[in-house]
Amino acid sequence: MAIDLARLRYFVAVAEEGHITRAAERLDMQQPPLSRQIRLMERELKVQLFRRLPRGVELTSAGHALLPEAKSMLARFDRAMEITRRAARGEQGSLCVGIAPTAPFIPLVPKSIRAFREAFPMVSLVLEEGLSNEVVSKFDNDQMDVAFVRAPQVLAQGVVVTPLQEEPMIVALPGNHPIAKRGKAQSISLASLANDPFILIGPQGTGLHDETIAACRAAGFMPKLGQPAPRITSTLSLVAAGLGIAVIPSTMQSVRIAGIAYRRLRAPGPKAFLGLAFRRSDPSPVLKQFLNVVRSIAKSTPPIQ
């Protein structure tokens, strides 16, 4: 037999107050309807829950047995309702966030993740590093909700990319490169590096790989391709070993590796793109909250010089 949750609340209020009139005031209702609901509950259970006293009521043994169970049921129901409301508001749930390998060096990215964690501590964030092609695969397999990407387009079904920031690209040179010995103050032209082997990050279709090729073409040459590198760390290791040069985002200057010199490229130089990829049709309230946080921080973040 199902018991109305409202009647359980009435029962608990009367049991705790020991008086039907005071319980009615607590429940913001009249005393006669409350008395009627208690009698109906006793009739349905076929037990007496209260003994009527001259000034109030007291629990019977059956009432004493029911009270802790009633409180537990109501607490579980209230908790379930609150979880449901938080999920609907995007305050609870989970989110898988992809991050391009060079993205954490941009202050906007860790700042956004930190702000979201602080604002929505009950959301479980799973962070996964991935190049553009890896992110595409995870979106296609429903294993990714949103991603910080370096490519302005992600060729996954239904996925769009919102631009967040651009930053200048610089060149990483081996420490013994002739240009590295000229000093840091003067910027260099990309065309002056046409005879050097270029170490490209990731395969074709990856943001920084394609951006480097496009920048070299704009400078009037096709780059000589050196050994490819799957990640920025391996790229810089190859540069330090003297196996070539690499065009990288300017924020990567914070990575100090012996045997590498960073130099600015002459304006107008290439720009590294950062965007947020997600499915426009995704109804997830958690995703909407994440997008709102990132966009808000992006608007208040000054451009990278």
In CATH terms, are 93-164+274-300 and 166-272 the same topology?
yes
C-alpha to C-alpha distance for 33 and 139, rounded to whole angstroms: 56
C-alpha to C-alpha distance for 207 and 210, rounded to whole angstroms: 5
Instruction: Kindly report the pTM of this predicted structure.
Output: 0.72
Which residues of the chain form beta strands (DSSP E)?
Answer: 50-53, 56-59, 93-99, 123-129, 146-149, 159-174, 197-198, 224-225, 246-249, 260-264, 271-279
Q: Are 206 and 149 in contact (CB under 8 A)?
A: no
CATH superfamily for domain 166-272 = Periplasmic binding protein-like II (3.40.190.10)
Where on the phi/psi map is residue 44: left (φ > 0), alpha (ψ -120 to 50), or beta?
alpha
pLDDT of residue 122: 87
Count CB atoms within 10 A of the CB of residue 135. Answer: 28
pLDDT of residue 1: 46
pLDDT of residue 177: 87
Q: Where are the alpha helices (DSSP H) in 126-206?
A: 132-140
C-alpha to C-alpha distance for 52 and 43, rounded to whole angstroms: 16
C-alpha to C-alpha distance for 237 and 252, rounded to whole angstroms: 13
Match 């018991």 to its residue by tokens.
Answer: 3
Q: Is 99 helix (H, G, I), strand (E, B) or coil?
A: strand
Residues near 137 by beta carbon (within 8 Å), at least 6 away in sequence: none
C-alpha to C-alpha distance for 13 and 31, rounded to whole angstroms: 12
Domain boundaries, the chain: 5-88, 93-164+274-300, 166-272
Third-level CATH fold of 93-164+274-300? D-Maltodextrin-Binding Protein; domain 2 (3.40.190)
C-alpha to C-alpha distance for 181 and 227, rounded to whole angstroms: 24
pLDDT of residue 3: 62
Rounded to 5°, the CA angle 109-202-266 comes to 70
Alpha-carbon radius of gyration of the chain: 32
Q: Are 96 and 112 in contact (CB under 8 A)?
A: no
pLDDT of residue 86: 66
* Half-sphere CA count of 262, side-chain side, radius 13 A: 15
- Give how far Cα 202 sits from Cα of 155, 186, 228, 246, Å: 16, 29, 7, 12
Q: What class does CATH assign to 5-88? A: mainly alpha
C-alpha to C-alpha distance for 247 and 198, rounded to whole angstroms: 8
pLDDT in tens for each of the 305 residues of the chain?
A: 446 888 888 989 999 999 989 989 999 999 999 899 989 988 988 999 999 898 889 999 998 999 999 888 888 888 777 777 766 666 678 899 999 888 888 999 999 999 999 999 988 889 998 877 788 788 888 888 999 998 888 777 888 899 999 999 899 999 888 888 776 767 888 899 999 999 988 777 777 888 889 889 988 999 998 888 878 888 899 999 989 999 989 898 888 888 899 989 887 778 888 999 998 887 788 899 999 999 999 998 887 76
